[in-house]
Amino acid sequence: MGQASWNRIRNGWGNWLGHVFHRTPVSHDPVELFARFQAVLTTNNRSLEIITDLGEKLSGAYLFDVNYTKTAYTELFEAISESLENFIRLTGDANLVLAETLDRINRQVQRVLSEAGPESEPLIFLYPDITWDTAEVVGGKNYHLALLGNELHLKIPKAFAVTTRAFELFLAHNQLNEQRQALAVSQDTDKDLAELRRAVLNGSIPEEFTDALEQAVCKLTGRNRSGYQLAVRSSAEEEDGEFSFAGQFDSELNVPATAKAVGAAWRRVAASLFTERAAAYQQQLGYDLGRLRMATACVAMIPAKVSGVIYTMAGPQNEDSLIINASWGLGPAVVDGITDADFYLVRKCDPPVISESRTGRKEVMVVEDGSAGIKTTPTPMEQRQQPCLSENQVLALTRQAMLIEKFFRVPQDIEWAIDDRGEIFILQSRTLKIDQEANPSPTGSTGPITENPDLPVLMKNQGIVVRQGVAAGRVFMIRNQEDLEQVPRGSVLVAPHDSPQYVRVIPFINAIITDTGVATSHMASICREFEVPTVVNTGNATELLAAGDDVTLQADSDGKATVYAGIAHDLLLEAQQMSGRMNQLYEYRRQKYLMRYIAPLHLVNPLEDNFSPEKCRSIHDLIRFMHEMSVQALVAGAVKQAKGITGLLFGRKKTIQELELPLPIHMLVIDIGGALAGTGRKARLEQIHSRPLRAILQGMLQPGVWNDETMPLTGKDFLAGMTRTADPGQLSAGGANLAVASAEYVNLSLRFGYHFNMLDCYCTDQPRNNHIFFRFVGGAAAITNRSLRITFIERVLESYGFLTKAQGDLLVARTSNLPGTEVESILVNIGRLIGFARQIDAAMVSVEVAERLAADFLAGQLPNLR
């Protein structure tokens, strides 16, 4: 990081920028505005080039050390800082908030690069206070659930997050850091893990931590503390991020809402970071033991009548459907795969459609057990064959799941519950790990695999395929957890039910087959991560398959599974060997994680209300926001300078010339650099050197555009038009139409009667610099006709890729990132559209007419107004 940049951060962005820009007031001179606009584009482009290079290097195609990442980010920070300086000089102090955003992003990136723990973050966040830049300290599980409440306003339980800073404080207070760090070089890992786990369980909670817990519990429960029971769950740094950590850490349910009880439960959850199963999982992900930090979620228990899981994508061959599994009682019945749950396959459309449903046996259910937490109990007979969900509930769950998937932009694994009043609560949402290849397997098979007729079939078309592929090995039957200590490498694990405990052996086995379970369990998530072919809910695999026998499992992409007696060598030969199951090591992921603060783009549509500084969460967001607002600054500057005839006389360096056009319009051009040849008072068409101005006039001059034989207005239309006032944003001077232009830029204002057109365009050979901003308002007909004309224009512009926003007889449209030649082509058509639209006011009598005229225009035809 350069010294100047660090000084700005150290001294405070707001003070530094405020000092600079209060001394340099915003100019409305179009030449100066345009120069500042170009400066923003230049530094933005440099930032984008660095982001692109970072993205390519972090895609996995290159090997490099962390020094490259640090150097590249230093360059990026310098570039975006300079871009922000140029932007605020262009737009003024109103956008100083972006400096604070950049400061927050920089602190998060520096923390990732240095692996430094949080120093000044609060120990606890209530969920409404969790923001995008707290994601790392509250952990993925807390962050994602808080987003659903804060951003989507879905119903989630009341909750607070205990941060990783609290974890660090606890370890320091109990002098456990040295013991923790020693795990990375331990000669007896199991022994040292057990000792550290005991030390955490027996450790004392610092007074500062206890006070924070007491305050959080009071805020969560209010005066009705006795009516609350809490679930204390893990939310480790990377949990529910790249990897799910599904079922690896302990959860404490039915915890009394007191600081003492929550503190004790927190210790038990924190201690589970040092269990053998969690250690095995961490090592497979490339962690040095002791490196991971634990945050926790303290969530109000929902008295669930029904609980379950949703996969928002049913499979790689069925992306348009989602799966819902449901069971009576609490969620562990489904996520731990201990019961045969109800199954629903629902098509994701509007409205959703239930394609398939099956009522599971639901022989057992999980219920609350007072201070003991939870227990598994037989399901009452009358409920076993009764569906858990009504059709309306299935559809309501589907709609919420679709909303969540759209928000996160990737398939989701969602846990939910419905209380006695029928209210739906979302309990967790994480990225769904699902096969994307046609037929992937741990040996890398990608093509279609045929059946092998030479071996006996032991089991066919039974169960649910969780992870596709082909694998072979000797059957090892699991009857209890102790059996896991004896699992040989290369086995095919066969068990009565699935369990996240199997993570201890998943890296070393070839396949898993179970009698019960669902595709949405913790184990299923882990099997997908480790690419182990897996089939669950077969019903009787433990009866059909014998311990010690060699078998081959073929799990296909169409959801069908076959188990052959013996080793099907021909099937295995079809599968291509892979070097390993873990494609990403921790050191690589650590560098890649910083991209979540750099590359994601949350600001998509500049015409939406949420396109605001407050929504900027990444450097990419800052770049996009600055570009769009720079365009608006140009427009606003042109409006301010050109209002009235006196606005045209603003300096000796600018030339003002009248265009000689074979059109019934009077147009003045303010040349701010290379727009026109010559310095006379008038300019001809051949003297126009401005790319965008030349293109728009080319369209306006096409034959038939200025047909004056328009349909006559009725008296009602004429009176309606007379009541319109001029567009307050219209650029005009003494009745003239006005263009502020350079060789690559134009801001054009045209008024024809009661039609007001404004266009702002930058057209270069660099696509990411280019934009077209277009606004149309007015007309002489009644409001109904004017609104229909807006429909016509909107249809045309949308066909050219514009984002549009229409209200009454006002239309705003925006497009960008197009090659210069395509921008010119669009401008020709907009020039034609301006003339076309002025003729059709009285003809606009229905939506059908508007659609027909749009089709005529796009086909290159003249308007048929009769």
Region of poorest pLDDT, from 37-46, 516-525, 736-745: 516-525
Report the C-alpha gap between 120 and 853 in whole angstroms: 62
pLDDT at 617 over 70: yes
> Do 140 and 285 fall into the same domain?
yes
* Residues linked to residue 471 through DSSP beta bridges, in sequence order: 553
- Show the domain range for 348: 304-426
| Assigned domain for 343 exists | yes
Structure tokens at 576: 């291509």
Query: What is the pLDDT, as a whole number, of residue 564?
Result: 94
pLDDT band at 645; cut points 50, 70, 90: very low
Give this prediction's pTM: 0.62
Q: Higher pLDDT residue, 735 or 82? A: 82
Mean pLDDT (the chain) is 79
Q: What is the pLDDT of residues 217-268, one digit of tens each?
A: 999 988 666 668 899 998 877 665 555 666 678 888 889 899 999 999 999 9
> Which bin fits 778, alpha (ψ -120 to 50), beta or left (φ > 0)?
left
Q: Residue 170 half-sphere exposure, CB side, CA atoms within 13 Å?
A: 29
Structurally, how many domains does the chain consist of? 5
| Residue carrying structure tokens 């072979």 | 472
Region of poorest pLDDT, from 132-141, 571-580, 746-755: 571-580
Region of poorest pLDDT, from 14-28, 490-504, 612-626: 14-28
> Do 280 and 309 fall into the same domain?
no
> Do 696 and 836 fall into the same domain?
yes
Q: Domain boundary at 426, 449, 478, which?
A: 426
Query: What is the pLDDT, as a whole number, of residue 740?
Result: 86
| Assigned domain for 772 exists | yes
Structure tokens at 443: 């040996």
> Do 166 and 228 fall into the same domain?
yes
> Do 288 and 309 fall into the same domain?
no
Q: Note the maximum CA span of the chain.
A: 98
| Mean pLDDT, residues 781-801 taken together | 81
> Do 294 and 308 fall into the same domain?
no
Task: Tell me the residue type at 686.
Answer: E
> Do 202 and 260 fall into the same domain?
yes
Which CATH number characterizes residue 167's domain? 3.30.1490.20
Report the C-alpha gap between 445 and 661 in whole angstroms: 68
What is the separation of C-alpha 354 from the centre of its chain, rounded to a whole number of angstroms? 27
> Do 308 and 295 fall into the same domain?
no
Neighbour tally for 368: CB within 10 Å = 17
> Do 334 and 386 fall into the same domain?
yes
> Do 422 and 519 fall into the same domain?
no
Query: Residues of 309-329 as b/e, b for ≥16 C-beta within 10 angstroms?
Result: bbbbbbbeeeeebbbbbbbbb
Three-state secondary structure of 264-280: HHHHHHHHHHHCHHHHH
Q: What 3-state class would DSSP assign to 622?
A: helix
Report the C-alpha gap between 290 and 504 in whole angstroms: 18
Could you check whether the bond before residue 767 is cis, i.e. omega within 30 degrees of 0? Answer: no
| Assigned domain for 638 exists | no
Report the C-alpha gap between 550 and 302 in whole angstroms: 46
> Do 388 and 466 fall into the same domain?
no
pLDDT at 453 over 70: no
> Do 137 and 174 fall into the same domain?
yes
| Mean pLDDT, residues 333-345 taken together | 89
Helix H or strand E encompassing 144: helix 135-150
| Mean pLDDT, residues 506-511 taken together | 82
| Assigned domain for 615 exists | no
Which CATH number characterizes residue 491's domain? 3.50.30.10
Query: What is the pLDDT, as a whole number, of residue 810?
Result: 84
Among residues 519, 495, 467, 500, the alpha carbon closest in space to that of 340 is found at: 519
Q: Domain boundary at 284, 300, 316, which?
A: 300
Report the C-alpha gap between 448 and 540 in whole angstroms: 28
Decide if 365 contacts 379 (C-beta within 8 A): yes
Report the C-alpha gap between 75 and 757 in whole angstroms: 42
For 669, which DSSP code? E
Query: What is the pLDDT, as a whole number, of residue 697?
Result: 93
* Residues linked to residue 656 through DSSP beta bridges, in sequence order: 670
Who's near 252: CB < 8 A, 6+ residues apart? 231, 232, 233, 265, 268, 269, 373
Q: What is the pLDDT of residues 366-412, one digit of tens each?
A: 888 776 677 889 999 999 989 999 999 999 999 999 999 988 877 89
Pairing of strands 655-659, 682-683: parallel
Q: Higher pLDDT residue, 581 or 422? A: 422
| Mean pLDDT, residues 448-459 taken together | 70
| Assigned domain for 733 exists | yes
| Assigned domain for 635 exists | no
| Residue carrying structure tokens 């306006």 | 700
Q: Domain boundary at 116, 150, 183, which?
A: 116
Which CATH number characterizes residue 363's domain? 3.30.470.20
Q: What is the pLDDT of residues 422-445, one digit of tens each?
A: 999 999 998 887 654 433 333 333
Report the C-alpha gap between 1 and 71 in whole angstroms: 8
For 674, which DSSP code? S
| Assigned domain for 295 exists | yes
Helix H or strand E encompassing 22: helix 13-23
| Assigned domain for 629 exists | no
